[in-house]
Chains A and B, each alone.
Chain A
Amino acid sequence: GQNIDQPTEMTATEGAIVQINCTYQTSGFNGLFWYQQHAGEAPTFLSYNVLDGLEEKGRFSSFLSRSKGYSYLLLKELQMKDSASYLCAVDFNDYKLSFGAGTTVTVRA
């Protein structure tokens, strides 16, 4: 299968840093996406990693290691509005995105 694994829930304090890990099978890999989804809303694009390394975009960074089948999304300087589900999705070069179940991040004051 194309299991994509990520933790179910994470909780952190406002202003802190949280790292969400994602692992996937490596065969057929074409790219990895991170999406943010607030309750009842559509996923919104955060990042797209194709090559190994760290991509930084403001408070959010995403890392990819293709050989290890591993990615993480780093959220810095957490704000209350960052409370949401974070979806890891992989393009296995088969004209679709395969999603993990999502990680619910709760930011506490």
Chain B
Amino acid sequence: DAGVTQSPTHLIKTRGQHVTLRCSPISGHKSVSWYQQVLGQGPQFIFQYYEKEERGRGNFPDRFSARQFPNYSSELNVNALLLGDSALYLCASSSTGTGVYTFGSGTRLTVV
């Protein structure tokens, strides 16, 4: 079985631009969570979706949004990019939104 897949793996954007990151969960997993990891820190929670509904939102500005599709894949959108948005964006899936979370390889976003 394929694990959690994320695309793209690397991305360079300019300040003010918009970015869309994609995630496909493990087959059978209905929950997807997004995390931001800045260098030298632990991952910070952004969103969790379960059965296409938002279950939780972290302390991030409204420039960050996400959605989950009927096939349980998910997109994270970030508008009006700032230099401080440069980070590794991680997607994690779980069967129910609790229990063991499996992480994807991440998308490395660099904002210049």
Query: Is B58 part of the contact surface with A, judged by Cβ < 8 Å?
Result: yes
Contact at A91–B40, with CB atoms within 8 Å? no
Query: Is A87 part of the contact surface with B, judged by Cβ < 8 Å?
Result: yes
A100–B40 alpha-carbon span in the complex (Å): 11
B58 CB, nearest partner CB in chain A, Å: 7
Query: Is A43 part of the contact surface with B, judged by Cβ < 8 Å?
Result: yes
Contact with B along A1-30 (1 / 0, CB 8 A): 000100000000000000000000000001
B108 CB, nearest partner CB in chain A, Å: 8
Bin chain A's interface residue count. 20 to 34
Interface residues of B in 53-112 (CB under 8 A from A): 55-56, 58, 88, 90, 92, 97-106, 108
Contact with B along A88-99 (1 / 0, CB 8 A): 010101111111
Contact at B48–A95, with CB atoms within 8 Å? yes
Query: Is A70 part of the contact surface with B, judged by Cβ < 8 Å?
Result: no
B-chain residues with CB within 8 Å of residue A101 when the two chains form the complex: 40-42
Partner-B contacts on A (CB < 8 A): 4, 30-31, 33, 35, 40-45, 48, 87, 89, 91, 93-102
Instruction: Name 19 interchain pairs, CB-CB below 8 A, sorted by A.
Output: A33-B100, A33-B101, A35-B103, A40-B88, A40-B108, A42-B106, A44-B103, A45-B100, A48-B100, A87-B42, A95-B33, A95-B48, A95-B55, A95-B56, A96-B33, A98-B45, A99-B42, A100-B42, A101-B42
**Apart from the given pairs A95-B50, A97-B45, 8 other A-B contacts in the complex at a CB distance below 8 Å:** A42-B105, A43-B103, A89-B42, A95-B55, A96-B48, A99-B42, A100-B42, A102-B42
Partner-A contacts on B (CB < 8 A): 33, 35, 40-45, 48, 50, 55-56, 58, 88, 90, 92, 97-106, 108
